[in-house]
A and B are shown apart, each in its own frame.
Chain A
């Protein structure tokens, strides 16, 4: 290798790192600033927005969690997200398996019927959805949200149908010969084999449900039922001048997805890209 190309490679490296560092700064600094501000007392924030906090002061977190009702918002988010994600993944797996493995009348029509749901932004149908929910008497009921998130199952169905189709038939055929019922095969063989795909779908739904704002805004008009995103808006109104507390609340809100992301990084990327491509 000639000297010139070695020099070229070195420059490319340096420039690459510089660019990555700049982007890193743009991404990380706002979050770092939020966290630093959440540890400050009010006078420190006014004094110098760039300075590090004078001490590690978690009072803002305690206030946000208790006085600011953030414990309630957190609990509401969990109450809604956990059953929604589990139910949506299960319901999508059932339907996806049926489309992949069973031959039945109308399967193509039904599949296309579900596919339409992928093409529709849920945001565009809020008016009739709101009317249906209020007619069913589900306003201010967590079920309204769980049912709504279940209705977004087409993306999961689409991903899981593709996955089940890709599984080799041999194992299931062998089980059939041994006298296993279709339900047994689904529950004991196909579902365990589908674990990675189920995880992908679950993470995709988790991010969407945990972060959703529009539907809680529509269906939960009782402040004590607020989820985290809604609670943050309430917070922003109530404690407009208390920047320390607002940033503490925002830091708590970032924490859950961030920790999950750090643990399951590859799954997150897979889930969100697959969901985006297919949804």
Chain B
């Protein structure tokens, strides 16, 4: 299949044209064509993503610095056994759970709330809606660096503001304090990503037939009642979607933490991705790093399967 795909397209067109006159030739061509169409995607995807997926699992059973194949050593499940005894690994898992609990919950609540607010279609709401999405198109590195400056212990914005408000005792090195480092990064992540949740909810709301609300109003339902009895049940599939998506996104998160805290201070904001990176590329423990990556792969895989399930059942997502 691979060889057939390399046939130059310049040949392909005249050949395909000849099809009408020479049906026998066109038959082989027609058989080959689909594979030729898929071939470029196939080759890049296979080499740079599919093989690495398998490779991650394979390497996790070895001890290796990644430099020369001569030094690679089979260790079976040793890396996984070591993981269970690795305090930082468990801390990282715990932080990922915090991230999902804090970040995801905030994005769902804020996103849903703003979506309902904006869908009243008050004058100016499309302006606000547009602005609220701006952080989502920015790079996480830019966002991380802006907030590193804003949260700087001495200058910045947050601490001077607290001092001016007479709350100087609350001023601190937000990213340098193990107590506040993780919550601060989570808050910045919410700042960056609530817009996406908001727009998914807006799409969901647009999918609800306005007549239902009219009917409820005539029947004497208060806005509060119609929100809980009509909007929420109908939005439930979208809500599940946002919950899962945000959970996956927080599991994948690397840039923001690398930029703002590098997992510190003293592992206080270490998550699976940053721990994998430092094991693999700082300590050159490719096998151990891959074992961390396998845990990450399994977790995202589970979330994504649930997502695909939900999405295939649901048509109110409206995001296509």
Q: Is the CB of A147 within 8 A of B160?
A: no
Binds B, one of A56-64, A109-117, A167-175: A109-117
B212 in contact (CB, < 8 A): no
Partner of A269, one of B30, B59, B133: B133
A120-B300, A127-B286 known; A98 vs B38 contact (CB < 8 Å): yes
A233 in contact (CB, < 8 A): yes
User: Distance (Å) between the CB of B316 and the closest chain A CB?
Assistant: 12
A20-B128, A232-B145 known; A128 vs B52 contact (CB < 8 Å): yes
User: Distance (Å) between the CB of A245 and the closest chain B CB?
Assistant: 12
The B interface, classified by DSSP as helix, strand, loop or mixed, is helix
Q: Is the CB of A246 within 8 A of B145?
A: yes
A45 to B125, CA, bound (A): 34
* Chain B CB within 10 A, most for which of A46, A91, A162: A91
B-contact 0/1 string along A86-120, CB 8 Å cutoff: 00000110110111001110010010011011111
Write out the residue numbers on chain B whose beta carbons fall within 8 Å of the beta carbon of A20.
114, 117-118, 124-125, 128
Q: Is the CB of B49 within 8 A of A131?
A: no
Q: Is the CB of B293 within 8 A of A157?
A: no
Q: Which residues of B111-140 are within 8 A (CB) of A? A: 114, 117-118, 120, 122, 124-125, 128, 130-140
* Chain A CB within 10 A, most for which of B37, B50, B245, B320: B37
A272 in contact (CB, < 8 A): yes
Q: Is the CB of A129 within 8 A of B52?
A: yes
A45 to B155, CA, bound (A): 8
Write out the residue numbers on chain B whose beta carbons fall within 8 Å of the beta carbon of A273.
196, 199-200, 203, 319
Q: Is the CB of B139 within 8 A of A253?
A: yes
A151 in contact (CB, < 8 A): yes
A116 to B46, CA, bound (A): 11
B150 in contact (CB, < 8 A): yes
Write out the residue numbers on chain B whose beta carbons fall within 8 Å of the beta carbon of A189.
none
Write out the residue numbers on chain A whose beta carbons fall within 8 Å of the beta carbon of B290.
127-128
Q: Is the CB of A272 within 8 A of B145?
A: no
A132 in contact (CB, < 8 A): yes
Q: Is the CB of A121 within 8 A of B139?
A: no
Q: Is the CB of A49 within 8 A of B131?
A: no
Q: Which residues of B278-320 are within 8 A (CB) of A? A: 280-281, 286, 289-290, 293-294, 296-297, 300-301, 304-305, 308, 311, 317, 319-320
Q: Which residues of B42-58 are within 8 A (CB) of A? A: 42, 44-45, 47-56, 58
A123-B273, A211-B139 known; A183 vs B48 contact (CB < 8 Å): no
Q: Is the CB of B16 within 8 A of A182?
A: yes
Q: Is the CB of A257 within 8 A of B137?
A: yes
Q: Is the CB of A102 within 8 A of B255?
A: no
Q: Is the CB of A126 within 8 A of B277?
A: yes
Smallest CB gap from B303: residue in A: A119
A193 in contact (CB, < 8 A): no
B-contact 0/1 string along A132-151, CB 8 Å cutoff: 11000000000000011011
Write out the residue numbers on chain A whose beta carbons fall within 8 Å of the beta carbon of B300.
119-121, 124
Smallest CB gap from B289: residue in A: A127
Q: Is the CB of A94 within 8 A of B139?
A: no
A125 in contact (CB, < 8 A): yes
User: Distance (Å) between the CB of B48 and the closest chain A CB?
Assistant: 3
Write out the residue numbers on chain B whose beta carbons fall within 8 Å of the beta carbon of A150.
40-41, 44-45, 48
A117-B49, A131-B66, A214-B254 known; A27 vs B41 contact (CB < 8 Å): no
Q: B-side interface residues toward A, CB under 8 Å?
A: 9, 12-13, 16-17, 19-20, 30-31, 33-35, 37-38, 40-42, 44-45, 47-56, 58-59, 66, 114, 117-118, 120, 122, 124-125, 128, 130-142, 145-150, 155-157, 160-161, 191, 196, 199-200, 203, 223, 241, 245, 248-249, 251-252, 254-255, 258-259, 273, 276-277, 280-281, 286, 289-290, 293-294, 296-297, 300-301, 304-305, 308, 311, 317, 319-320
Contacts A/B (CB < 8 Å), 17 sampled: A17-B122, A27-B134, A30-B157, A107-B34, A119-B301, A119-B308, A121-B300, A125-B293, A128-B58, A129-B48, A130-B66, A132-B48, A151-B47, A153-B44, A211-B142, A218-B281, A254-B138
A-B CB proximity, top 7 nearest:
A128-B55, A181-B16, A151-B48, A211-B139, A98-B37, A125-B52, A150-B44
